[in-house]
Amino acid sequence: MEIKDLIIDDRQRGVFRVHRSSMTSPDLFQREQEQIFNRCWIYLGHESEVENPGDYRRRTVVGRPLFFARGRDGHVRVFLNSCPHRGALICRRDAGNADVLQCFYHAWSFNTHGDLIGVPDQDAYGPHFDRGELGLKEPPRVESYRGFYFVCFNPYVEDLVTYLAGARDYLDLIVDQSEAGMRMVAGSNKYTMKANWKLLVENSLDGYHLVPTHQTYLDYISGLGTDDSGQTAASRIVGTAKALGNGHCVIESPVRNGRPIAHWHPLFGEEAREPITQTRQRLVEKYGEERTFRMADTSRNLIIYPNLVINDIMAITVRYFEPLAPDHMEVTAWHLVPREESETMLATRLDSFLTFLGPGGFATPDDVEALESCQIGFRATETEWSDISRGMLNPAKSTDELQMRGFWRQWHANMQGLSKTNVQDGPVRETEAALAIGNDD
């Protein structure tokens, strides 16, 4: 099947289908690496993870070993984690603090600016040996927005702010919840799934599955003071779904189960009521009631294309997934919190985070089971198509699938060598078609 035929997007009839080979084909998986992951901005980490001079963190991004470090000048730099001498890893620990980073193989040493500062027995080299040519290499592009660092291996990619498009507003809503700035809590959850990475994109934006899949959590919450027991998809208060451009998408919903930032729930305990009320009042004084309502009284699941999800729901989870094979991915999740939060409120937030989104929480095991079940189901190759048409002819709700269609349309354009597409529902206007065809770099 040709790539152009992998998606049926009939906007007149309201039919959107994706061929399941997109989830199973090794050839398409390899093309994704070339056309998407090697060309798009990919999340690396948060500035708070390297708070002090000499702090470093090790990551794998698009299969490449990287690390980022804060230099003595206060700047954050990103390096390929490979010694320019013979290729061994420089950073062999996930995190640490050091003035000097030394390769264990031949003891070449580098500072946190990437300069080669030590070579054992350097006199053995000839007169043209130049340390300046053998410093640590950086990815072609590194940029940050509101503390979130991204890398790109395409030197000609558009700037990060332009790439983020409408997702910037939602990052701002998250970051502005804190007067002192946000920070990542030390530690992470890391696990693997035997499923295609795009299934996790879909799942992270899927409001339709909450009631049937996570009913145990709803029953648990109802026992703490909110009567969500017996809730059905028809009775649930739903929000909206949006495609934000460049494949970024979001669902927003009214808060039912509390948010530690400024929406109290019995889950948090009576002692948390007053601090949460005070936080909300400060937000109103700074941003007004309308923006505070968006921050505190609505939750959001945001996908920053292609593989970063930020769940700003009962807690703030930053979830990155690295595709390893058509049916295998590695997921890492961190917890983002306001710097000024008290120890008591931080403990409340962490407990809320782990209860639903932790590796042993109510949601994550359910979702892993669901996605791995889908991947097994794809072996029934006679069932060729997955349907993602829900709500296509109606105003989008969070239980519909506009947000998934926005992601898939961008994926489809990228896989055909295009950088832009019309990600919204409705007829494609001639100017949008021309824009898609004209951006084939």
Below-50 pLDDT ranges, the chain: 227-235, 428-441
- List, for residues 392-415, the tens digit of each pLDDT value: 999 999 999 999 999 999 999 999
d(CA 441, CA 427): 25
pLDDT of residue 426: 61
Q: Given CA atoms 78, 83, 85, 86 in this order, what sign does their dihedral have?
A: negative
Domain parsing of the chain, residue ranges:
1-41+166-441, 42-152
Q: Are 129 and 107 in contact (CB under 8 A)?
A: no
pLDDT of residue 71: 96
Class of CATH domain 42-152: mainly beta
Sheet holding 55-61, edge to edge: 76-80, 64-70, 55-61, 95-97
Global pTM value: 0.91
Whether 1-41+166-441 shares its CATH topology with 42-152 is answered no
Class of CATH domain 1-41+166-441: alpha beta
Find where tokens 């807690």 sit: 315
pLDDT of residue 423: 56
Within a 10 A sphere around the Cβ of 155, how many other Cβ atoms? 8
pLDDT of residue 326: 98
CA 171, distance to chain mean position in Å, is 11
pLDDT of residue 84: 97
